[in-house]
Structure 1
Amino acid sequence: MESPHEVAIRISKMDSGDRKFNEADTRHKIIDQILHGVLSWPVSQTMHESFISPGFADYRLKRGNGDDLLFLEAKKEGVYFSIPKSFNSAKTHQFITVQTLLTDANIRAAIEQVRAYCMEEGCSFAGITNGHEWILFKTFESGKNWRNLKALVIHGNRYFAECFTEATNILGYSSIKEGSLKTSLGSINRNNREIFYPKDKISSYDHEVTSNGHARELRPLANKYFGSIDVSEPVFMDACYVSQRDYENAFSNFRLIIKDSLTPYMADRGIQQSDDNEKGGLFGNRIAKSLKDKKSGEVIVLFGGKGAGKSTFLRKLLYHNPPQYLSKYSRVAIADLLNTPEEETKIYDKIWSEIIRCLDVDGLLETDRASLLQLFEDRFELAKKQVLFGLAETSEAFNIALNNLVEAWLCDKKYVAKRLVFYWKLKHKGCVVAIDNTDQLPHNLQDFCFTTSQEISDQLGCLVIISMREERFHASRIHGTLDAYQNSGFHISSPVAQAVFEKRIKFVQLMLEDRKFCIELFGEQFDEKARVFKTLFRIFANEFRQGNDSPLNEFLSACAHGNIRLALELFRDFLKSGYTGVDEMVSAKGGLWKLKIHQVLKPVMIPYRFFYEESQSSIPNLFQIRSKSNGSHFTGMRILQKLADGIDPSNPFYISISELKDYFSENFNMVEDLEKNLDVFLKWDLIESNNRVDYYCEAVDSLKITTYGLYIFNVLSSFFTYIELVSTDCGIFNESKAHEMVELSNEDFRLFNARKRLERIRTRIAKAEAFISYLEAEEEQELNFFGPNLQRFTPKIRASFEIEKQEVLNSAQKKRNR
């Protein structure tokens, strides 16, 4: 039997220009299928051909008590409904006033007919359809002219397939009974205005921008030296690993930032903060204590935020530069699950295989049978008493049976691992197993990894470490285990991003002085390329130098908020982006080039695209309308303002979700818009929950703002480049303004292809001007509606724009005159 969504998909494929069904076939083969098969209207509550003088109502939907819910007038599919063309005509549906729809004769006749039935019977809602177009409207509203009310216009049956959830939430029988039509149809006010998306009308919106001319050489350099540190390269590790001691000493006077630290929620559950010093802090001490005490069956968890460097920390501590006691008395096995398929059996096999591989550093499993029998001594001695009993050791039967046994023992991974642990125990070394990169797995598989780690500790009698992102702790089932054992959970903080970049840039500068390195990177004729790259990295070194007021450093440090992996990724994009003018930077006269904010934002926000798209950028759109039913461009700003108001940047406080909900409910009636913005902000790390859950759900009970949130609120949100880029991604309530944004964007693209730089700058300024003036009008309207005491955001945006636009124009004019 088909599901409602499957019925919707099937019916949607019937839409065509060949409309030959008569009215009976249109009802039977299309309308009935949608009403009963898709929208679940019960046949018993749907009356057909109900007589109402002077005619018959085609469909009459009732409640169980007999009250009317909706009248629907059906026409044959050959009766065309002409819908006026508008900005959103290409969408599956839109809202249009009834008065506008009445200008088409066919629509007017059908609407007046079905409304007459409603007036006769006292029903508030009606609809008309020809099996393809559907129009639903409210027949009357107190104090309103019914012609001025908005109607839901469905442009074709693909709406029911492509927008199935929305369709059933509005037109499904259960939804209609619960009053969905009351909130969806009727007066046009702030709660249900039509939204227009300029990007939907820009044909070149997905156009990609090529990388800069030096990207071929920058790409391998960026990937190697601005990615994860490879522990197999000790020189790179020694030069670029940033320990807590390094950055606390070097950046003791660093400007106040919100630090990545242990949350109260985790501290209350016994998780301890561990410093990253030479001995691994409390975490390293805990490992050493377990080895000294020769404890077995222990599991400890290493927590850290996204991109905080948990993997690098583990490898540095356990492999690259272990404390003396660990180096002398331990043998380490790390099972890295980063690229493991998300299946329990494959994860389980990968963990045990990696344990064996790492513990068999002496190659015992590759030796001859005699050596293997020494390793498997316990089973061999038992086999001689049982399976091999009575067979002469020199006989063929004995050797065949023994070979089969050895083969079976080798395939028993748990047994092999157990014997290798025993082998190292005889050499006075305790084994430590680490299961790394579990945080990219779903919650159920993370729990599986934790239970597997417990099994390993029980089976092998060794210490097992499992790394986990702190965001995953709340949803995991390990709480009880951590509560049961003291000192079993540890948290590490990420280093300061500035220290990371300073060390890595310095290392690249040293490498560029090496002739062999330059030949490998640039070829035999490397002098000019090496000169360019040396100058480029001198510029970067200056940008990240302590005390230097650098937009690049400030931006990467803020948006990382402990996620060093993200900061490095953004820097790699910046290096390779077509918007990064390497030649212009290295050819500057009179000293080193100093980056301006617009030269940072565009390569980072849209490194390989011409237009900004939030879903494909590393930077969120703060002015996006999240709730289509009742949203505001300023909800995001109001959230960040509420969280930032009066905080100490070095020690921000948490605000309860209930307080935020109460504020947005009482002042704006925008709880849904609040929740959708919170979900985006948590995922982008603009805000942080007490339990580190990184998406909005009922488990989130309190929030604080992050460095990134403060930066985007106080700085980024008013920059010309940011405003101009997000403007075409935003939904807009004004159709005329949306058309203007489309035309300016198309002109921008044409000028880009024509390489008219100054004219492009003027067009981009005009686009930002249009968007800012629109935001000003929206803010003024909200102040009139919600009250004049609300904080204004557009004056700061306007003031910043007026200053920046002249600077940008002057810069473009100078470059044109060169």
Structure 2
Amino acid sequence: MSTPYDQGKAALDELIDWAAENVAEVQRNEATTRLQLIDQLLTKVLAWPRAQIEAETAYEGKYVDYAIGRPFTRLIVEAKREGSYFSIPAGLTSSIQRLSNLTDGKAGEPLKAAAEQVAGYCASRGVSLAVVCNGLQIVAFLGVRTDGVPPLKGNALVFPSLSAMRENFRLFWDNLSKPGIEARNLHVTLKEGGKKSAPAPLSASIPHYPGIKRRNDIQVGLQILAELFLEDLTRAAELEEEFLRATYATSGALSQYAMLSKQILENRYSLLHESDSNFETEPAAARGGQISPNLAGDILASGLSKRPIILLGDVGVGKTMFIRHLVNVDAKEVFQQSVVFYVDFGQKSALMSDLREFVIEDVIRQFREKYNIDINDRKFVEAVHHGALNRFDKGIYGELREIDEVAYRRERLSHLARLTSDSASHLLASMEHLRGSMQKQIVIFLDNIDQHASELQEQVFLIAQSLASEWPATVFVSLRPDTFYRSRSEGTLSAYQPRVFTIAPPRVDVVLKKRTSFALDVLKDPSILPSFNSQVTLESDSLTACLEVLLNNFENNENLVRLIDNLSAGNTRLALSFVSSFIGSGHVDTRKIVDIYSQSGHYTIPLHEFLRATIYGDYEHYEPESSPIANVFDISEPDGREHFLLLLLLAYVETSGDRAGTEGFVSSDDVYTYGQQSGFSADQIAWAVERAVRKGILERSPRARNVSGVEHIRVTSAGVYTARVLAGMFAYLDAVVVDTPIVDDAYRRLISDAHSIMDRLRRAGHFRTYLDNQWRTVESSVSNPSLNWREQSTRLGNEIARISDRLQ
């Protein structure tokens, strides 16, 4: 089987032969040169897909012959007619030449004009690689440089003929083919040396970074109790129904605090079945919070329709809570008459090599522990396989009963052993027996699959499909929207017509108030929870005070609720973890809070206090990988303008995504075009986008790609809040400064490790001034930037001054 490399070499041979046979008496014009030669070089020889090549694209009234690459332009090609030749000075034979040597004198004027033209296109669009080609010759060079060398003074990769391309095909392919360009080989060949690294951040010089934040005894006790009453309490079997009735918040209610467009929130799942009419989605909960009538009907009907019911929702929106509430409250009467199995694909399933076997073993375990039925009990096995035993007695071994009772019983036991040796078949027979004898429906939930990779989620769906079609059971399976659409488009789900119900996140403020209130009720009457250690008195009194403070703030402190609501971005699991991390945090003076509340009956939690606990977690310093909060000022290259790249992209995506009909999504092509036109390289943009997606401030379309194959992204509420609010807060700047590379030597010396509040304020002031200086270079190179940093900086300066005045 030939490789793209082999195919490209063969295509070049064919092009050389064709060019020799079709030497035009009249030289080809530019359009014909492009059609007959340049197009062939790009698509057939260098393996660029036509979908990644745009011709005659316009920007600021100037047209580019070829803009190549998706989702961002990687190189620009300026096409010239066949007769516009360039020559190499005598005695120079290397493929790497100084571009200035090729553009010297009158003979070099045509190439010089073309090189200046394409370098200008690269500069205006932020594309680093430039190519001039007349169909038979190619010159490639860096159209945008970051080392201070003018593009026309740097090196160029030169192929003066098709034969030269063939003689040096490895060099030609490695540097200009699609895989070669994506590997940045041309940068190395031209001695650019690959991407230069940004200076080391302050964290590199801090001993024992990131350090563990010490807690006092009260904080340690509070942390343990907070985890018990806000997280472990949710799984207490003796309180399950009471907990669900008291704390369940209806999915689908729109947050009044979200800074994201209401249209986006309302249409979060609207793209899922666009251009796919083989299924429909509908909310699992109807208006008023009641279970959808269609879902209620499907609980009974799906066992007959032989297809699983999909519960679709993003990570942390409450799919598990919905299932628990459905079983224990919403449809309690139905499920009391059913045999219900809940299979949790949490941490344990990650250790299983055979997921189907994991499901079978877990159902067998639940039969035994939940319903006191051991499907391998001898009497139960005989009852399940009664028909098979009757057929055995009528068969050839039946006569042994009259001849040799011992031999008969041995053969009969061997027959039963064969019937039970396949655990899946025996479990199926057991279910059919129970459904017939107990007259109960069997329901299976496959949950917490979204904690795993997409491939595992697809495997679990196939298991669900198999169980629904083979077993006498109604099967539910929970999936993430992105996995669902990707699999519908190109994976295992494409062969099925599933029944899909969507679960939207509940209002975070409602969840927090209900959870906190319930925890308080249990704390004040611990007898309802037998497992509670009643001897823990001091910490439990402090926890009571902390929870009362939190409940009061959830009801009255809109700024705090807005922070939690937006940073959690609909993930209630994450929102609750923020609250747990605040209680007992080493960054929070818990004793002060308890004392003030005890004396006055009131305490308003400042944003910076809650934010510090959230940003730092267990660490002394901000650690970007573990913190749920992104550092938007981080950079990948020694380019100070890049401190604002992610903020610019967030503002651009938010503004562009508000257009009607897009559900907030913006083509990644548009995002890269905007970034490149603002003077940033494709690599810088890609690094910023990937980092933003990983930290949850940008998200890719659940559909992954639209019908044209272009990826779409949109900003999340966490992204909007980070850009609009956090970036202008002292507590945020004070945290991320240790993780931000400083490109100015003078300011790098000023920005050092600091511990006292006054030293941290001075450091934040230096950091703000440094960022202001870098912003001026952005303003000078970006027309109408989507971000207003001056406003943010003013707000930040006022806060720093206000804190300093209060301390003095």
- TM-score for both structures, normalised by structure 1: 0.69
Change (3 A) 1:463 1:793: same
Change (3 A) 1:309 1:792: closer
Give the alignment of 1:380-419 within 5 angstroms: 380-386=389-395, 388-392=397-401, 395-419=405-429
Cα deviations across residues 598-618 of structure 1 (Å, max 9, x unaligned)? 111111100221211211211
Change (3 A) 1:69 1:599: same
1:344 and 1:455 map into 2 onto residues whose CA distance is 19
* Residue 779 (1) aligns with residue 806 (2): no
CA contact (8 A) 1:291 1:329 kept: no
Q: Choose from 740, 757, 778 the match for 2:750.
A: 740
* Residue 428 (1) aligns with residue 448 (2): no
CA contact (8 A) 2:310 2:498 kept: no
Cα deviations across residues 151-181 of structure 1 (Å, max 9, x unaligned)? xxxxxxxxxxxxxxxxx999xx978995324
The amino acid across from 1:732 in the alignment is: I
Partner of 1:230: 235
CA contact (8 A) 2:588 2:609 kept: yes
Change (3 A) 1:284 1:564: farther
The amino acid across from 1:579 in the alignment is: H
Partner of 1:690: 701
Partner of 2:462: 451
Change (3 A) 1:471 1:795: same
2:464 and 2:682 map into 1 onto residues whose CA distance is 42
Give the alignment of 1:159-558 within 5 angstroms: 179-181=186-188, 185=192, 195-227=199-231, 229-230=234-235, 232=237, 233-244=239-250, 248=253, 258=262, 259=265, 262-268=268-274, 269=276, 270-276=279-285, 285-286=294-295, 288-289=297-298, 291-292=300-301, 295-318=304-327, 320-323=328-331, 326-327=334-335, 329-342=337-350, 345-359=353-367, 361-365=370-374, 369-386=378-395, 388-392=397-401, 395-426=405-436, 427-476=438-487, 488-514=499-525, 516=527, 524=535, 526=537, 528-545=538-555, 548-558=556-566
CA contact (8 A) 2:593 2:603 kept: yes
Change (3 A) 1:423 1:478: farther
Change (3 A) 1:436 1:662: same
Partner of 1:766: 762
1:401 and 1:357 map into 2 onto residues whose CA distance is 29
1:579 and 1:181 map into 2 onto residues whose CA distance is 47
Give the alignment of 1:24-173 within 5 angstroms: 67=94, 69=96
Partner of 2:50: none
Q: Which runs of 5+ in 1 are unaligned?
A: 1-64, 72-123, 126-136, 150-167, 753-759, 814-818
Give the alignment of 1:598-677 within 5 angstroms: 598-626=608-636, 632-645=642-655, 653-677=664-688
Change (3 A) 1:169 1:736: farther
Name the one with the larger helix percent: 2
Q: Which runs of 5+ in 2 are unaligned?
A: 1-91, 99-139, 156-173
The amino acid across from 1:780 in the alignment is: R
Alpha-carbon distance, 1:543 to partner? 0.9
CA contact (8 A) 2:546 2:594 kept: yes
Cα deviations across residues 761-785 of structure 1 (Å, max 9, x unaligned)? 1110111111111111111122234
The amino acid across from 1:663 in the alignment is: Y
CA contact (8 A) 1:656 1:702 kept: yes
Change (3 A) 1:252 1:497: closer
CA contact (8 A) 2:317 2:506 kept: yes
Change (3 A) 1:363 1:398: farther
Partner of 1:808: 803
Alpha-carbon distance, 1:455 to partner? 1.8
* Residue 714 (1) aligns with residue 724 (2): yes
* Residue 795 (1) aligns with residue 806 (2): no
1:390 and 1:253 map into 2 onto residues whose CA distance is 79
1:520 and 1:345 map into 2 onto residues whose CA distance is 35
Three-state SS of the structure 1 residue aligned to 2:702 is: coil
1:183 and 1:192 map into 2 onto residues whose CA distance is 14
CA contact (8 A) 2:196 2:638 kept: yes
CA contact (8 A) 1:227 1:565 kept: no
2:788 and 2:632 map into 1 onto residues whose CA distance is 12
Three-state SS of the structure 1 residue aligned to 2:583 is: helix
Identify the structure with bigger relative contact order (alpha carbons < 8 Å, sequence gap 6+).
2
Q: Over aligned residue pairs, what C-alpha RMSD do you find?
A: 4.1
1:501 and 1:650 map into 2 onto residues whose CA distance is 32
The amino acid across from 2:235 in the alignment is: D
Cα deviations across residues 652-678 of structure 1 (Å, max 9, x unaligned)? 633222222221222324332222222
Alpha-carbon distance, 1:582 to partner? 1.0
1:140 and 1:553 map into 2 onto residues whose CA distance is 51
Change (3 A) 1:592 1:140: closer
The amino acid across from 1:570 in the alignment is: F
Cα deviations across residues 203-225 of structure 1 (Å, max 9, x unaligned)? 24221112354233323432233
The amino acid across from 2:563 in the alignment is: F
Cα deviations across residues 77-125 of structure 1 (Å, max 9, x unaligned)? xxxxxxxxxxxxxxxxxxxxxxxxxxxxxxxxxxxxxxxxxxxxxxx99
Cα deviations across residues 305-338 of structure 1 (Å, max 9, x unaligned)? 01111122123213x2251562255322222121
Q: Choose from 579, 585, 590 the match for 1:577.
A: 585
Change (3 A) 1:326 1:732: same
1:495 and 1:139 map into 2 onto residues whose CA distance is 53
CA contact (8 A) 2:219 2:584 kept: yes
Of residues 460-469 and 626-635 in structure 1, the stretch that sits farther from structure 2 once superposed is 626-635
1:214 and 1:271 map into 2 onto residues whose CA distance is 53
CA contact (8 A) 1:274 1:282 kept: no
Alpha-carbon distance, 1:407 to partner? 3.6
Of residues 207-216 and 569-578 in structure 1, the stretch that sits farther from structure 2 once superposed is 207-216
1:279 and 1:401 map into 2 onto residues whose CA distance is 62
CA contact (8 A) 1:331 1:424 kept: no
Change (3 A) 1:183 1:512: farther
Change (3 A) 1:322 1:595: closer
2:226 and 2:475 map into 1 onto residues whose CA distance is 34
Three-state SS of the structure 2 residue aligned to 1:465 is: strand
1:439 and 1:598 map into 2 onto residues whose CA distance is 32
2:803 and 2:640 map into 1 onto residues whose CA distance is 36
CA contact (8 A) 2:485 2:703 kept: yes
Of all paired residues, the percent bearing the same amino acid is 19
Alpha-carbon distance, 1:382 to partner? 2.7
Alpha-carbon distance, 1:423 to partner? 2.5
Of residues 226-235 and 600-609 in structure 1, the stretch that sits farther from structure 2 once superposed is 226-235
Change (3 A) 1:641 1:473: same
- TM-score for both structures, normalised by structure 2: 0.70
Alpha-carbon distance, 1:621 to partner? 0.4
Change (3 A) 1:70 1:728: farther
Three-state SS of the structure 1 residue aligned to 2:346 is: coil
1:411 and 1:193 map into 2 onto residues whose CA distance is 61
CA contact (8 A) 1:212 1:581 kept: no
CA contact (8 A) 1:388 1:398 kept: yes
